[in-house]
Amino acid sequence: MLFLTAVAGDILQPGFYGNTCPKAESIVREEMRKTMLKEARSVASVMRFQFHDCFVNGCDGSVLLDDTPTMLGEKLSLPNIGSLRSFEVVDNIKEALEKACPATVSCADIIIMASRDAVALTGGPYWEVKLGRKDSLTASQKDSDDIIPSSTLNATSLIDLFKRFNLTAKDMVALSGSHSLGEARCFSVTDRLYNQSGSGKSDPAFEPIYREKLTKLCPSGGDENVTSGMDATPRVFDNRYFKDLVSRRGFLFSDQSLFTSPETREYVKLFSENQTEFFNAFAEGMVKLGDLLSTKPGEVRLNCRVVNQKAS
Ligand code: HEM
Ligand SMILES: *[C@@H]1O[C@H](CO)[C@@H](O)[C@H](O)[C@H]1NC(C)=O
Ligand SMILES: *[C@@H]1O[C@H](CO)[C@@H](O)[C@H](O)[C@H]1NC(C)=O
Ligand SMILES: *[C@@H]1O[C@H](CO)[C@@H](O)[C@H](O)[C@H]1NC(C)=O
Ligand SMILES: *[C@@H]1O[C@H](CO)[C@@H](O)[C@H](O)[C@H]1NC(C)=O
Ligand SMILES: *[C@@H]1O[C@H](CO)[C@@H](O)[C@H](O)[C@H]1NC(C)=O
């Protein structure tokens, strides 16, 4: 696995497009605002791209590349297939930016700006984004398979994983708070409901009434594409996710394990009691996540789904 990263501070800067595309940030925000009115969930789906892009060889738009006859991309990796969505939102943003300032704003930066806006537009914090990333010439399905965590991981394993990216346990818990927005499939909870760790039983960490509700939504052998919010207010970016973990109404095993585990429980409690603490830690975590850069050669793609030039 590649963990080579350039020093973000040498490359990225706020207002990077100040001269070349002064309206870049306002164009992205306007597209995200329109998107949210059309389909509320899609802004969450777009925000998730920042995680699935930046953990796989840095924030380089690799997650957006379609497969080619010679390259298996990340869209169809096990954690992404049937789950990552709203690629067309990035296409629409790119189209608007290409009209305003051709061949200038990278797809990798679009993900970073759009993720910030998704959070701000749904009631969460706002932060300054550093820009100037380049788009990759390739993508790696294998790296996506190997790196993007499954919801069967517990807090200890998640701490270890995030540490490899210089992200602390506190960063990891705060970033998991992104599950305040969006939806997950029954597919992601059926083992927890009916066969936790191969036990043939449900996860004892469930609050019983919540479990009852989920077994109705996600019956054994039912349609695993049915979705649920991961907290009780999936359209609002707030600390309800952490309150739900405290009352053992977390959806994913990985979510609930943040409260089960003594290594992370105090952060869950802190964020559940003080939304400002959560918002500050979340913004800080997103900036650190956005600082993960690739050292491979890059370009500004004209279409986020395909490279301009052939990778050699
Ligand atoms: C800590 C480790 C994490 C794990 C194990 C994890 C796992 C998952 C899973 C299993 C789903 C539901 C997939 C489905 O059933 O289709 C999901 C959804 C989501 N994740 Fe994560 N995730 C993690 C961290 C993050 C981070 C760091 C972010 C963003 C910064 C993020 C953003 C999202 C969003 C917004 C959704 C909902 C997407 C939608 O509605 O389309 N996740 N995650
Ligand atoms: C669930 O979605 C996947 C692709 O996202 C599809 O292949 C499958 O047929 C769907 N299953 C049902 C029961 O609709
Ligand atoms: C967490 O998961 C790891 C890897 O599967 C396992 O070795 C460890 O025992 C688990 N920790 C707890 C507290 O369950
Ligand atoms: C983590 O920090 C160390 C020390 O500053 C640095 O050498 C390493 O490249 C960083 N790793 C990542 C993935 O950013
Ligand atoms: C539960 O999981 C275990 C291990 O993955 C598997 O062997 C077993 O068949 C499963 N049981 C049911 C009822 O699906
Ligand atoms: C919540 O956290 C913020 C930021 O650390 C702090 O200023 C504020 O006093 C805290 N609020 C409460 C009620 O503890």
Task: CATH 1.10.420.10 in the chain: give the residue spans.
Answer: 155-286
Q: What is the separation of C-alpha 82 from the centre of its chain, rounded to a whole number of angstroms? A: 15
Q: Where are the alpha helices (DSSP H) in 148-261?
A: 155-163, 169-176, 190-194, 208-217, 240-246, 253-260
83 alpha carbon, closest ligand: 1
Q: What averages of pLDDT result for each successive group of 10 residues across the chain (312 residues)?
A: 59 96 98 97 98 98 97 97 98 98 98 98 98 97 98 98 98 98 98 97 98 98 98 98 98 98 98 98 98 94 91 50
Encoding tokens for residue 82? 């049937």
Angle at 111 between CA 109 and CA 115, to 5 degrees: 120
Per-residue pLDDT, 1: 43
145 assigned binding-site residue: no
Q: Which fold has domain 155-286?
A: Peroxidase; domain 2 (1.10.420)
For 4-148+290-299, CATH gives: 1.10.520.10
Per-residue pLDDT, 6: 58
Report which protein residue has its CA nearest ligand 2's atom 1: 225
Task: CATH 1.10.520.10 in the chain: give the residue spans.
Answer: 4-148+290-299
Q: Tokens 């919801």 belong to which residue? A: 151
Ligand 5: distance of its center to the CA of 188 in Å?
Answer: 15
26 assigned binding-site residue: no
Q: Is the torsion defined by CA of 147, 151, 156, 162 positive or negative? A: positive
The closest-lying atom of ligand 1 relative to the alpha carbon of residue 175 is: 27
Confirm if 45 and 88 have CB atoms less than 8 A apart.
no
Catalytic annotation, residues: 52
Can you tell me the distance from the alpha carbon of 217 to that of 163, in angstroms, rounded to the nearest whole number?
Answer: 35
